[in-house]
Amino acid sequence: MLEFLKDYAVYLVPILSSYLTYLFLRRKSTLEKYEEQAKESLHDSCGPLLFSLNRILNKTSKIDMEFAMEEFLKKYSDDPSPLIKTKNRNIIDSYNNVERHYYIYTSCKNDNTYQKLLEQLLVLKMEIQNEFDIEHKVVNNGYKWFQLAARQENYWIKSLIHFYRGFSQTVIFFTYVDLFLFYLFIVDNHTEEKFLKPFQPYFISFTVGILVTFIVVISINFSIHETEGKFSPTSKIFSILIRDSWAQKFRFFRRFKVGDTKVNNENKARKIFVRHYRDMN
């Protein structure tokens, strides 16, 4: 096995290096494309949408709110609509719900239609806020590192911060490499030849070193960056099987139908309406 590696190392190393470089460049290209799309959506869609909704919800009377909402719908219903630039289909669907409830309210003005309209408007605001936060984080990726370095007056501390950022990215990259090698050793362990067995001590040492360094780096990075973990266990299978009528009658089924995030936003919208908007004149 060792003789085989010695003979073919001159061919295997360039091939492996080229493949890893290809994966790295492809990932970088995909991230750059995503960042550009997020930047466009943030500046031309989600950002203006969020500020427009805040202006509506900050009104202190129904008349002012109705007028602001009319201007809002007129602006975002024009062709072409700025909503086209958003990548989140849920936002478009929520906007359509707001528009539909607005026309229901204008044709039959009462407390019930007003509440439904405000709840849908608040749901839309929450969904846009979530999308805005994600896109803002993507577009401003690395900002906190530069902000942290800019606060330092000492040149050497600034250099150390920039060096550490590059070091942390290198450690994360080698962690992925270690996972790939781990997979190769598992596969090799189930073969009769066990070609990689002579390298297991070196691999174990490499894995331990990478794991310890990775834990330290991730701990430092988490202390610098805010983390916003959002997870919804909603299954698409349940969404297909559960009927709309069941979801409307039973909140339990509605969570499986539309997702925890949607239901939580609706509940929050209902509470905010009761607290701030129900008694508005």
pLDDT tens digits for 84-125? Answer: 777 778 888 889 999 999 999 989 889 899 889 999 999 999
pTM of the model: 0.54
Sequence-distant (≥ 6) Cβ neighbours of residue 263 within 8 angstroms: 251, 254, 255
Q: Pick 36 or 105 by higher pLDDT.
A: 105
d(CA 118, CA 269): 8
Q: What is the pLDDT of residues 246-278, one digit of tens each?
A: 777 776 677 666 777 777 788 888 888 888 777
How is residue 241 written in tokens? 């099987």
The pLDDT of residue 147 is above 70: no
The pLDDT of residue 212 is above 50: yes
**Domain ranges for the chain:** 1-141
Residue 225 pLDDT: 58
Among residues 124, 53, 51, 40, the alpha carbon closest in space to that of 84 is found at: 40
Query: Which of 31-35, 39-43, 70-74 has the highest average model confidence (pLDDT)?
Result: 70-74
Mean pLDDT, residues 135-142 taken together: 73
Mean pLDDT, residues 204-231 taken together: 73
Mean pLDDT, residues 180-206 taken together: 79
Mean pLDDT, residues 197-224 taken together: 83
The pLDDT of residue 73 is above 80: yes
Residue 274 pLDDT: 80
Q: Pick 201 or 142 by higher pLDDT.
A: 201
Residue 240 pLDDT: 64
